[in-house]
A and B are shown apart, each in its own frame.
Chain A
Amino acid sequence: MNAWIEKQRHLIDFTLASLARRKAKNLGLLLVYALLVFVLASVALYTHALRQEAAQVLKQSPEIVLQRMVAGRHDLIPPGYLEKIGRIRGVQSIEGRLWGYYYDPVVKANYTFMAPAAEAVKPGTLVVGPAVARSRGLAPGNTISFRAYSGKLFSFTVVGVLPHASELVSADLVLMGEADFRAFFEYPAGQHTDIALSVANPLEVRTVAAKLASALPDSRPILREEVLRTYASVFDWREGIVLALLSAAIFAFAILAWEKASGLSAEEKREIGILKAIGWETGDVIKMKLWEGGLISLTAFLAGFVAAYLQVFRFGAPLFEPVLKGWAVLYPRFELVPAIDGLQVATLFFFTVFPYMAAVLVPIWRAAITDPDSAMRS
Chain B
Amino acid sequence: MKLRSSTLAFVALGLAAAGFAATFVDAAWQRERDAIQIAERSALAARLGLTDLALFTEARYTRHPSQADLHSAFQDHPVALEHFPTGSLLPPPASLVSHHERLDRKAAPPD
- A interface residues with partner B (beta carbon < 8 Å): 9-10, 12-13, 16-17, 20, 53-54, 56-62, 65, 67, 69, 72-74, 95, 97, 101, 109-112, 114, 116, 118-119, 129, 131, 162-163, 165-173, 175, 194, 196, 220, 222, 226-227, 230-231, 234, 237, 241, 244, 295, 298-299, 302-303, 305-306, 309, 313-314, 325-332, 335, 337-340
Contact = CB atoms under 8 A, between A and B. Distances in A.
A237 B45 contact: no
* B interface, size bucket: 35 or more
A97 to B, nearest CB: 6
Contacts of A305: 20, 23
B20 A302 contact: yes
A172 B57 contact: yes
A57 B42 contact: yes
Nearest to A62: B49
A65 B27 contact: no
Contacts of B6: 9-10, 12-13, 16
Q: Across chains A and B, which 7 residue pairs bring their CB atoms closest together, nearest first?
A: A165-B37, A302-B16, A338-B27, A60-B46, A227-B66, A12-B6, A171-B54
A63 to B, nearest CB: 11
A120 B34 CA distance: 28
Contact of A340 (B5, B23, B48): B23
Interface string B36-59: 111011111111111111111111
Contacts of B17: 302
B102 interface: no
Interface string B1-37: 0001110110011001101101110110011001011
Given A172-B54, A326-B55, A56 B30 contact: no
Given A9-B6, A227-B66, A302-B13, A116 B48 contact: yes
Contacts of B56: 326-328
Contacts of B53: 53-54, 57, 168-169, 231
B85 to A, nearest CB: 8
A285 B96 CA distance: 54
Contacts of B36: 165
Given A295-B9, A299-B13, 9 more contacts: A57-B50, A60-B46, A62-B49, A73-B72, A119-B47, A119-B48, A327-B56, A330-B57, A337-B30
B51 A302 contact: no
13 contacts: A12-B9, A16-B6, A59-B42, A65-B66, A74-B69, A110-B63, A162-B44, A165-B34, A230-B65, A231-B53, A298-B16, A302-B13, A302-B16
Contact of B41 (A16, A56, A109, A227): A56
Contacts of A129: 54
Nearest to B31: A337
A234 B105 CA distance: 34
B49 A95 contact: yes
B22 to A, nearest CB: 8
Contacts of A339: 27, 31
Contact of B19 (A170, A237, A302): A302
A67 B69 contact: yes
